[in-house]
Amino acid sequence: MVEAILKDKKKILPCAAYLQGEYGIDGYYIGVPCKLGAAGLEKIIEIKLTAEEDAALKKSAEAVKELCAVIGV
């Protein structure tokens, strides 16, 4: 990740990114593919997910939401 940013490689890597509507999720950090370059996270890459993949992502996001509620964030 550091190399992609420092050397402006525009590389796509899995990152925990703050989603603002991407993948139908808003207001949480979730692991998704992102393009990294000199500006840091330059773009969140939205790929088409199968119904099964989408359900798994939503389940993961719900777990993050529950954890945030438990710790009061």
Give the tokens for residue 15: 């990152």
> Taking all residues of the chain, what is their mean pLDDT, rounded to a whole number?
96
Number of domains the chain contains: 1
Give the tokens for residue 3: 């190399």
| First-last CA distance in the chain | 27
Gyration radius from the chain CA atoms: 14
CA within 13 Å, CB half, 4: 14
CATH label of the domain that carries residue 18: 3.90.110.10
63 CB contacts (<8 Å, ≥6 apart)? none
Tens of pLDDT, residue by residue over 18-40, are: 999 999 999 999 999 999 999 99
For residue 53, give its domain range.
2-71
